[in-house]
Amino acid sequence: MADVLVALSGGVDSSVAAALLIEQGHQVTAVTLKLWGGETDSGCCSVSDVEDARRVAQQLGIDHHVFNFGEDFDRHVVAPYVEAYAAGQTPNPCVECNRHIKFDKLFRRADALGFDLIATGHHAQITELDDGTRRIARGADVGKDQSYVLHMLDQSQLARLLLPVGAFDKGRVRELASELGLRTADKADSQDVCFIERSPGRGDGARKAFLGERIPLKPARIVDSEGTELGTTDSIEMVTIGQRKGLDLGGGTDRRYVTEIDHENATVVVGDLADTMTTRTEVPDLTWSSEPVSDGLTAQSAAHAKRMPVTVVGTTLVWAEPHPKVAAGQSVVLYLGDDVVGGGIAGQELASVDAARLPRPSADLT
C-alpha cells in the first residue's frame, strides 16, 4: 500500500475517493487547495468548502492540510483567462487549473513531502496498454465524465495518479457517501467557473462584471455576411461563436447565430445555422498522450459535447461531417474509443467572410 495525498475539495466525489482509498488500505492524507477568494467567498475552493473538507477528514480519521496556491492560481489561471477574452478568445479555465495547479504545483508539493501517489475525485479512469502506456479514459458516468479536462496529463503524471470514483456513476457515489455518513453526501455540484461565482449576479452577468473590473469591455457592430449592419453589442468579449441568444437584433423570424468575431475591428458577423459549421478546425498546439494515432479517432470540442469522427492532418482536424465552429481558446480532445489520445487548444477559425467587405467601426465604438 502507498502513501497517498488526496485532493479533498469539500465535495462528495473527493470525499468518497478518500474513503475508498482508506478502505483499500492506503495511508491517506487529505489536502484542500485554497485558490481564490476571501473570508466571505463561495463556490469551489471557498472557505465553506475548506470547512467541509476538514470535517470529512475528521470523520474519516485522516490528517488534513490546506495549501494556499492563490498566487499560482492567479498567475496561471485567472490572468490568462482575462487576457484570452481581451484577445478575442474563449478560454477554458478548468483545463488550465488542472494543467498548472492540480497536476503540476500539487504534484511537485507532493514530491517534496514524500508522497507516493496523488488522488482526486474526478470522474475519469486510467487505462494501461500492454506496453505500459497509460491513458485517461472516460468515467463510468458519461453525464459526469471529466476526461476532457484531464486530457493534458502525461505519462509520468498518470503513473502516480489514482481516480477512485471514476468507475462509479454519480448516484452510487452519493449512496456510498450516505452509507458512510459523510456531510457532503447531498452537497450540490459546483457548476460555474469557481472565481466567477463570487462576482455580482450569475452566468453571463457575473462574467461580464468580473471582466469589466479588469479590462475595458469593447463595443462592437453586429453585421450579416454581406456587411449590412444589424445592431451593436456593448461588449464583444461577451460574444462567442455559435451564440444565438442575447444579441438583441430586433424583429424578424430568421434565427441568427454568431459565425465570426473580428475582435481587432470590433465586428461580429451573424448568419444562419449553416454558417456556423465548418469541416476543419486548427489546433496549433496539438499534442499526443504517447504515439500519434491515425485511424478511428473522434474529437470532443467542449466538456459535454458529442464526440464526432475526425482525421488529423498535421495540426488540422478534418471533421467527417460539418461540425460547429470551435471558439478560439477552447480545448479539443481526441479519443480512440473511450481513451484520450491527444488534444490541444483551438486557434482562430479561417474566416468564411471577406473581411474587406465588413464595415470599420466608427470612432464612437472604439
Active site residues: 97, 194
Q: Give, as one character, the DSSP assignment of residue 75.
A: I
Give the DSSP H/E element, type plus range, for residue 173: helix 170-180
Q: Which is nearest to 73 in space by CA: 83, 81, 65?
A: 81
| CA gap 78, 97 in Å, rounded | 9
Residues facing residue 261 across a β-bridge: 268
How many residues are recorded in the chain?
A: 366
83, containing H or E segment: helix 79-86
Strands (E), 131-219: 134-138, 161-162
**Quick one: cell of 238?**
461577451
Asked whether the beta carbons of 73 and 101 are under 8 A apart, the reply is yes
The residues, ordered by sequence, that sit 6+ positions from 58 with a Cβ below 8 Å of its Cβ are 64
